Amino acid sequence: MQVGKARAKHRSPMRPEILNPLFAALTDLKGVGPQLAKPLTRLGLERLVDVLFHLPTGLISRIAVERLDQAQPGQTIIVDLTVQDYRPGRSPRAPFGVEAFDRAGDHVRLVYFGRTSGLARKLFPLGETRRVSGRLDLYGDMRQIVHPDHVAEPGDEGAIAEHEPVYPLTEGLTNARLSQLAAIALDRRPDLAEWIDAPLLASRNWPDWREAVARAHANPRDEAARDRLAYDEIFANQVALMLIRQGLRNRRGRAIVGDGRLTGALRLPFGLTGAQERVGREIAGDMAQDTPMLRMLQGDVGSGKTLVALRAMLTAVEAGTQAALLAPTEILARQHHATLRAMLAGLPVNLAILTGRDKGRVRESTLMGLADGSIDILIGTHAIFQQAVTYRDLALVVVDEQHRFGVAQRLMLTQKAARPPHLLVMTATPIPRTLLLANHGEMDVSRIDEMPPGRTPVDTRVVSVERLDEVIASLERHLATGAQAYWVCPLVAESEASELAAAEARAALLAERLGAARVGLVHGRMKGPEKDDVMARFQSGAIGVLVATTVIEVGVDVPAASLMVVEHAEHFGLAQLHQLRGRVGRGAAKSVCLLLRSPTLSETARERLALMRETNDGFVIAERDLELRGGGELLGLKQSGEADYRLASPEQLVRLLPVAHDDARLFVERDGGMEGARGEAVRLCLYLFERDAAVPLLRSG
């Protein structure tokens, strides 16, 4: 989880002056206009520091030759060529050829596709010699170079590098242009004081930060430089998390102890599992301390986290205080509201909901109830962060699907109370130990590792999308029994750049086959009331099949839905597939999850889908997903817009995080903050990697 992520182009008033040149907007540079800014923004490159941390992933190696016959087809060469003639195509769209000869008189054709004849004529004036770089190929018996990558004046030996880094690109951005921006960023990188402990730096034989950045851009295979930069990023995050934990725990909270009159009065059709009892005791023990609780509750889909959270919130109400539950989406907030309202039926507990959609008198009534204390428990979305929302006595904050929220957002909510409230964050996405340490190092962790009785494992099958007609026929038979189904698609609308099935197109096809009245569609672009109406009709059974994007990944609870179809399943992360599968298997009927795959799969995709078929254990899936796919996609962060580590790969996280964790703990516990030269250097590191939400928590000495 990024701490203090601030992608704004504006200068931070607290940022050390030495770093400001790196945080200049790219659009402030000469030659970076709106047209170039678009592809740069698509890559997340808005400032020079973004380019500095956008490291190359490959290397082009060229060989300089005097004559064409010194090179083999397939090699990328540098050679001086003299232009003799042009060979236009028969139409403007046909390839344009430039006939050229080396100094020995051997022929090669330089080929340009598209409407580029003007560019080719400009680059290669007749009768003149140019230094050319490109891949030498054979077309029949004729040598050719398609779209030379560099053209320079002859004799300029340094104009074309024999080794050139290759950067991740997007449409509208060339490697040459990105290399130019990288050169500017490298030129502006400052000399910074060393923040890594001297013995560690020496034992690893790592270069200093400034040298490491230059080496990583020059050669993507420079492991020492890449490891040094990955370590810096991991270390900054670990220091920030520890400072936040220390800062929150140093603030005086208050002990919350209930009398059991509400938790004991809950009338539930089932008893608590042993795991729920154990976790409940851990949470109650934390809340009984005057140090604010910072606890993560991990539990697989259907393990009963909501009930554990409700009992904690009722403890807060029993103590005469208030509780708030924060959900990432309106669908999930309303689902929680309906579920908790049913559980609390008959109890003297005032439950309310607040989302961005609530306006006018309804909203005013809720705000007044929170301020005067007549509302005991508030369920809401980001709206409960807003400045106008005040609480009489907020003592417990529960954050659901916490990976959708940053540390800074969680801090905002805890600041809504006169004294720091206890904080419980929940996730149904099982998180490997490495990522727990990497992203949630400020928290204690509880795990519900036992499922309630009666939950039968979902039968998971992998089917080729070529059998779509059979799947739809099977769906029709399924609906005929009175059961319901989900059909999940990765995209909302057709895209020329993708062959993935779109939710809108799939809903239309199913409506044609099954009848329009039996098919509903939900996606993220729909307005709230429209989405709620479809969901309500699905929950009531009026709709048989719900076609959706991943907005139904969490929070939707329809016991009659016992079939989940995920189209193009290979494009989803394993943990996300596990979440989707968790939408079924909630009733008494046997449930099935069909993963529709493309006819051809990569080896990794095949392994991932096979694992889904083999196990329903989310914790096993999470560990394997980290190995196969990487941390950001594992947690769904890329779908939710929160950035992942930019420099540290999953492999580097696993290898370097334990070292960074220990080093950060020593720094915080031993050095304690800004005392000494290393403290000042660590401050620079936190700002450089934008973990500056933690900077105010550093002791000033």
The H helix count followed by the E strand count for the chain is: 23, 22
Residues 231-256: what's their mean pLDDT? Answer: 84
Q: Kindly state the percentage of the chain with pLDDT values over 90.
A: 49
> Which pLDDT band holds residue 196 (cuts at 50, 70, 90)?
very high
Residues 364-378: what's their mean pLDDT? Answer: 95
Q: Is the pLDDT reported for residue 38 higher than 80?
A: yes
Pairwise CA distance, residues 589 & 139, whole Å: 63
Q: What is the pLDDT of residue 634?
A: 34
Least confident of 52-66, 77-91, 545-559: 545-559
Q: What is the pLDDT of residue 700?
A: 37
More confident residue, 418 or 273: 273
pLDDT per position as a tens digit, 438-485:
666 667 888 888 877 767 789 999 999 999 999 999 999 999 999 999
Q: Is the pLDDT reported for residue 10 higher than 60?
A: no
Helix extents (H) in 219-329: 223-250, 274-287, 305-318
For the beta sheet containing 377-380, the strands, ordered from the edge strand earlier in sequence to the opposite edge, are 351-354, 377-380, 322-326, 394-399, 422-427, 294-299, 444-448
From the list 545, 474, 533, the residue with the least C-alpha distance to 503 is 545
Contact (CB, 8 A) for 363 and 353: no
Q: What is the pLDDT of residue 99?
A: 96
Q: Is the pLDDT reported for residue 108 higher than 80?
A: yes
Q: Is the pLDDT reported for residue 696 higher than 70?
A: no
Contact (CB, 8 A) for 395 and 424: no
Q: Is the pLDDT reported for residue 360 higher than 60?
A: yes
> Which pLDDT band holds residue 699 (cuts at 50, 70, 90)?
very low
Q: Is the pLDDT reported for residue 129 higher than 90?
A: yes
Residues 67-78: what's their mean pLDDT? Answer: 94
> Which pLDDT band holds residue 4 (cuts at 50, 70, 90)?
very low
- Angle of the 223-250 helix axis to the 650-666 helix axis, nearest 10: 50
Average pLDDT, the chain: 85
Pairwise CA distance, residues 325 & 381, whole Å: 8
Pairwise CA distance, residues 46 & 2, whole Å: 18
Residues 7-20: what's their mean pLDDT? Answer: 68
Pairwise CA distance, residues 413 & 382, whole Å: 9
The residue type at 253? G
Q: Is the pLDDT reported for residue 275 higher than 60?
A: yes
Return the structure tokens found at 691.
Answer: 């973990």
Give the bridge partners for 77, in sequence order.
63, 134
Neighbours of 157 (CB within 10 A): 11
Sign of the four-CA dihedral 302, 304, 305, 309: positive
Neighbours of 496 (CB within 10 A): 5
Q: What is the pLDDT of residue 69?
A: 94
> Which pLDDT band holds residue 91 (cuts at 50, 70, 90)?
confident
Give the bridge partners for 394, in sequence order.
322
In angstroms, the Cα distances linking 701 to 34, 598, 697 are: 46, 60, 12
Pairwise CA distance, residues 313 & 558, whole Å: 25
Pairwise CA distance, residues 174 & 44, whole Å: 16
Burial of 107 (0-12, 13-18, 19+ CB in 10 A): middle
CA 526 to chain centre: 23
Q: Is the pLDDT reported for residue 552 higher than 80?
A: no
pLDDT per position as a tens digit, 330-343:
878 888 999 899 99
Residues 350-376: what's their mean pLDDT? Answer: 91
Q: What is the pLDDT of residue 139?
A: 92
- Coil vs helix vs strand at 160: coil
Radius of gyration of the chain (CA): 30
- Coil vs helix vs strand at 669: helix
- Angle of the 175-187 helix axis to the 209-218 helix axis, nearest 10: 170
Highest mean pLDDT among 10-19, 515-524, 681-690: 681-690
Pairwise CA distance, residues 214 & 685, whole Å: 17
> What is the phi/psi pair of residue 560, to 5°?
-75, -10
Q: What is the pLDDT of residue 440?
A: 67
Pairwise CA distance, residues 455 & 457, whole Å: 7
More confident residue, 361 or 671: 361
Q: Kindly state the percentage of the chain with pLDDT values over 70.
A: 86
Q: What is the pLDDT of residue 629?
A: 55
Least confident of 224-228, 454-458, 473-477, 563-567: 454-458
> Which pLDDT band holds residue 252 (cuts at 50, 70, 90)?
confident
Sign of the four-CA dihedral 89, 90, 91, 92: positive
The residue type at 144? Q
| Cβ contacts of 32 within 8 Å, gap of 6 or more | 26, 40, 181
Q: Is the pLDDT reported for residue 5 higher than 60?
A: no
pLDDT per position as a tens digit, 387-443:
788 899 999 999 887 555 555 555 666 667 778 889 898 887 777 666 666 666 667
pLDDT per position as a tens digit, 152-171:
888 776 778 888 899 999 88
Residues 174-178: what's their mean pLDDT? Answer: 89
Return the structure tokens found at 360.
Answer: 């006018």
Q: What is the pLDDT of residue 527?
A: 79
Domains of the chain listed by start with CATH number: 10-58+170-190 (1.10.150), 63-160 (2.40.50.140), 261-448 (3.40.50.300), 459-615 (3.40.50.300)
Pairwise CA distance, residues 682 & 701, whole Å: 14
